[in-house]
Amino acid sequence: MVFPHNSLRSARNFAVHYGMNNIKALSEYDLAVIEPKAHHTEDIHILKNNATAVYGYLSLFEIDPQQPEFDIFQSQILRKEDISRDGECCRRYFMDLRSAAWIEYVHVKVGKMLRESGFDGIFIDTVAYIEECLYMESVMFNQLLAVCDFFKSIRSDFPGAGIILNNTLGIALNYTKELIDGVCWENPLAGTSQQKRLNRRIVSHLNEIRKKNDMRVMLLTENSADTKYFSRLAEKNNYMYYDAPSNYIGAVR
């Protein structure tokens, strides 16, 4: 099976939604990123019949302790990290991407999404945490090489399936830029002049990578108070832009 990854190249707009329903609203977009577990195969077919390319969300590096696979792969966890969220402490778990068992599990999961459910591509999240929470360079680089190997295997086994890398703008993007079709810049800030200066540097970096690697750049915010600023930034640089509802589960805008 060959997948039409050119659907990303030709897309004029996109939406990201991780909740259920909202199929009619999502079908108004050229490209929709959704949570596979929240939808039936019939939903995917409806979207594709309305000429909407469908990408499935996939966390590669972080594993959710609420999911059934957590118990299976606990021994493959590379790092645990406690963070504060909404005033409460919670623990996050990050997988060892050198684990053959974990990579095989994810690869099979991707295959089901693409071949059985009809997704056009995958929207890879949490890779950026590799460089944020791994402090030993040798460990970090080994994980990044494992990401590259995973992407190469997807390219080999699912020719043409689209790969979008979410919110990975640093070293990980430099490693994977030749293996992906697009990068999504998620939730930048714009409340201060310093943040806007940082955004200009990021735009320059993304534009240079896009020019050399022929990829799409997407800009994603979540219920932002600065949508006018980001809309202008996206239009000026030919990015696709979408401002999602809170937690990506409200009504599609």
**CA angle 141–174–54, rounded 5-degree value:** 105
Torsion angle of C-alpha atoms 105, 110, 111, 115, degrees rounded to 10 = 150
Beta-bridged to residue 32, according to DSSP, are 15, 54
Domain architecture of the chain: domains with CATH: 6-63+99-248 (3.20.20.70)
Asked which of 39-43, 116-120, 133-137, 225-229 is least confident by mean pLDDT, the reply is: 133-137
Residue 160: its pLDDT value, please?
86
Cβ 47 vs Cβ 32: under 8 Å: yes
Report CA torsion sign: 203, 250, 62, 84: positive
Report CA torsion sign: 55, 60, 66, 70: positive
Name the average pLDDT for the chain: 94
Residue 253 — very low, low, confident or very high, per pLDDT cuts 50/70/90?
Answer: confident
pLDDT exceeds 50 at position 2? no
The mean pLDDT of 184-204, rounded to a whole number, is 97
Taking alpha carbons only, the member of 180, 94, 163 closest to residue 123 is 163
Q: Which amino acid is at 213?
A: N
Q: Residue written as tokens 């089901």? A: 112
pLDDT exceeds 60 at position 4? no
Backbone angles phi, psi at 186, to 5 degrees: -105, 130
The mean pLDDT of 26-42, rounded to a whole number, is 97
Q: What are the tens digits of pLDDT across the range 78-132? A: 999 987 767 778 899 999 999 999 999 999 999 999 999 999 999 999 999 999 8
Q: What are the tens digits of pLDDT across the range 118-171? A: 999 999 999 999 998 888 999 999 999 999 999 999 999 999 899 999 999 999
